[in-house]
Amino acid sequence: MELSQLEETKIVIKSLLKCHQHEVTVGKLSQDFYKSEGYQIPFAKLGYSSLETFLRSLGNLVEVCGKGYSATLKLIQNENLALNSVSLASNASNRELTADIFTEIQDEKPTVNLRRKSEDDVDLPPKCMKDFKVNSPVFNFPSQKIEFSTKLECYAIPDNVSINAIEAVVITEIHNPHKFWFHFCKENNKIDELMQNMQEFYNSLLPKRWLIPDTFLLAGQVCAASVNNIWYRAEVIDRINKNIIKVYCVDYGLILTVPAYCLKFLISIFAALPKQGIRGCLSQIQPKGQYWDIGAKEYFISKTISKLIFAQISKINKQDRVYHLALCDTSTNKPFQINKALVTKGFAEFELNTEFLTT
């Protein structure tokens, strides 16, 4: 009896997870599936709006921890266990909290499967990139690369954002409680679609195709950076040595060092979306000393990692593009206020004349 496409896809995913000792990132799974089968995971054909949505539907096969391409997939050992693997957003929306703590999170737009790889075009761009022409292979420069002087547009804070509004967010990087990066969940379809398309495009190139020449690897150069086999939009910050480059992943707030051979020219079609990493700052609290200590950072990370969090907007600094937020974890039996918990645990103190938000 012929297997359905869904069952066939599940078998391949299970096999790949076992090869990675039962745990792998969404980005790495997508890459390995493509290498194994010659086409991307067919989530759109199976009726799902994004790869992550499809993987979360496989509740009896895998557990998804986190959001986006850096989320971790774990193979469930006993598939017969009745596990509730509904996403954090669905769980949170069923809880009873104070008025209007939950907001409607918009459905993700479907992501188009860009291409199916064949033996004849292993080194060509996907079909959707047919309008892009490559200059002489001697120079290895794509004609639609981002020029050195070009900068990615910064995230624009909407004019209609309301103070005290409550939004679902995902924290992507933390330096300290006053300096972190996040995404609004209702806008996640934009970055998810971009990431999916970048993986398909750059994984279709030969390893040396469109590498950035040594003389171009200067501070400010926009590029595509491969980090743990996942392609990100990035900017060069500094050169550590001849072969190691420090980059800033503009959509996630990550600052990383990568080998020079992991940097390729960014194509203009991937530069249209403004930077998606949004700066955040916990409102109404301050460090007990002059600076935040490592304990405050680690505690903050432990309460937000791989979780969907609800944020109440206290203030917006439009000049510096920083949101001041009061965060609440709703995945527990009782809503957990993260700002207040940092004070309770002795890592912070309330700012003077602060009346902490209670919603």
Specify which of 5-14, 17-26, 138-147, 314-323 reaches the highest per-range mean pLDDT.
314-323
Residue entry with tokens 């050992």 = 77
The phi and psi torsions of 247 (rounded to 5 degrees) equal -130, 160
> pTM for this one?
0.65
Please say whether the beta carbons of 60 and 79 come within 8 A. Answer: yes
Chain segment 262-292, per-residue pLDDT in tens = 999 998 889 999 999 999 999 999 999 889 9
Chain segment 224-271, per-residue pLDDT in tens = 999 988 999 999 999 999 899 999 999 999 999 999 999 999 988 899
Is the model's pLDDT at 86 over the cut of 50? no
Residue entry with tokens 């079609």 = 269
CA 226 to CA 258: how far, in whole Å?
A: 8
The phi and psi torsions of 173 (rounded to 5 degrees) equal -160, 145
Strand order in the sheet with 23-25: 23-25, 72-75, 62-65
Range with the lowest mean pLDDT among 27-36, 131-140, 250-259?
Answer: 131-140
Is the model's pLDDT at 139 over the cut of 50? no
